[in-house]
Structure 1
Amino acid sequence: MILKRILILSFSILSSLTLFAQEDLCTSPSSGDDLLMELNAISKCHVEEKKEVVLPKRNRYLRVRNNSYYANLRKSIRTLKKSMKEPAKEVITKEIYLGEATKEPVLLLADKKNRGGLKETLKSYINDNLVYPASLKDKNIEGIVWSSFVIDANGGVKNIVTLGPIGGKLFEEEASRLIKSLPKFTPGELDGERVNVKHLMAIKFEMSK
């Protein structure tokens, strides 16, 4: 009985020593001369090391579809910002009457012969170019058309208004035609600044013409 116990104890000790020897063999580092021995002994190792699998890194990109909710929202915001931009401020030119101008407009006649100031030049131009309506002339009808117009800062004519006598529509039409046919002006000025100059003028239709 005692012998049996001694044999069992000896076998246990021997098995433990063998196991430790194999574990040391599997975990020992490799060197030049012992490499062949470890390769031969590696089959005795029952413990397999787990290899860590390293997956290649992939770049991840966020793909946004053009028709997605957020894309449409950003587009709407950009459109709203553009519409909210302040409109360009309109440059407003001063408007004065002829008597207020420090430099009167000058009518640029084709013959370059201005007849004094603006009023005298306009009167001469009208007398030279007025066409008396034939139907009114035949009936010996006379009249005066009161007119107003603006000589703008570019030398053009605008805002023409005519008011003739009752039944004098033909007179008004001729007066309007005359004013529209005026040549270019040199703009009027106020203290060195170009301005719009408003002028009032009476155009007379008389049989003596």
Structure 2
Amino acid sequence: MGQKEVCTSSENEVEDFNSIGKCAKDNFKKSKETEFVKISSRKRVVRRRISSSILNLRKSVKKSSPRKLSILEIDQIPLFENCSLTSSRDEQQICFNNQIKHHINSNLKYPASAFKNGLEDHVLAEFVINEKGEVSDVNIISSKKHQILEDEAKRLISSLPKLLPAKHNGKVTKMKHRVYVNFNLLNHRIKQF
């Protein structure tokens, strides 16, 4: 019965966007345009069963590996030798950031080939200060992907001195942190003179 239906509506008239009727099919066949929109009203739901052994494994992994907290989440931030343990948290954080900047500025060695080729970049270094106060898990993110600059940033961050570790709820903990290493030719030329 539906096949005998005759299309009487105009080409621009759309009655219901969720259904495709005979008029839409006829208009599509008559149309010489190459663009079209595929409309689907069917939703597909994929359900996956998780076995109890997988759930138990997930729980044990969460318990065994403590979450790495950021500098804003911990009670006491990691401290360099020059920073005072008795000062306020804000002063400790300022000292921590200043010591990292000082370390980067005084130990940055602009790679000769990068300097010669005029390579510049703003490299993000993500790292963890572990329970011993040592830097670990250094990850470098760079927009321009100059490997030589990424390697120098990794070397620079890995060479940070041992710190007094972070504490949270009275326990020594890991802390994740991010810092930018700026490879700027103008700043480097000024330092040389």
TM over 0.5: yes
What is aligned with 2:44? none
Q: Deviations over 1:88-132 (max 9, x none)?
A: xx8544420111111110123xxx478942222101110000000
What is aligned with 1:133? 111
Give the Cα separation in 2 of the matches to 1:148 and 1:167.
16
**Moved runs in structure 1, 4+ residues, more than 3 A?**
90-94, 112-116
* Higher radius of gyration, 1 or 2: 1
Deviation of 1:201 after TM superposition, in Å, equals 1.1
Percent pairwise identity: 28
What is aligned with 1:101? 74
Question: Are residues 1:154 and 2:132 paired?
Answer: yes
Report the TM-score, using the length of structure 2 for normalisation.
0.55
Give the Cα separation in 1 of the matches to 2:110 and 2:163.
25
Give the Cα separation in 1 of the matches to 2:68 and 2:141.
22
Kept after mapping to 2: 8 A contact 1:145/1:203:
yes
Deviation of 1:164 after TM superposition, in Å, equals 1.9
Give the Cα separation in 2 of the matches to 1:191 and 1:174.
36
Within 5 A, what are the aligned runs for 1:21-100? 92-100=65-73
Q: Deviations over 1:12-65 (max 9, x none)?
A: xxxxxxxxxxxxxxxxxxxxxxxxxxxxxxxxxxxxxxxxxxxxxxxxxxxxxx
Deviation of 1:167 after TM superposition, in Å, equals 4.3
Secondary structure, counterpart of 1:97 in structure 2:
coil
**Structure 2 unaligned blocks of 5 or more:** 1-62, 85-91, 189-193
Give the Cα separation in 2 of the matches to 1:191 and 1:205.
38
Secondary structure, counterpart of 2:72 in structure 1:
helix
Task: Provide the aligned C-alpha RMSD in A.
Answer: 2.1
Deviation of 1:141 after TM superposition, in Å, equals 2.0
What is aligned with 2:43? none
Q: Which moved more, 1:184-193 or 1:162-171?
A: 162-171
Kept after mapping to 2: 8 A contact 1:93/1:153:
no
Question: Are residues 1:169 and 2:142 paired?
Answer: no
Count of aligned positions: 117
- 1:140 alignment partner AA: G
Residue 119 (structure 1) aligned to one of 97, 104, 112: 97
Give the Cα separation in 2 of the matches to 1:133 and 1:191.
42
**Structure 1 unaligned blocks of 5 or more:** 1-89
- 2:77 alignment partner AA: E
Give the Cα separation in 1 of the matches to 2:145 and 2:129.
29
Report the TM-score, using the length of structure 1 for normalisation.
0.51
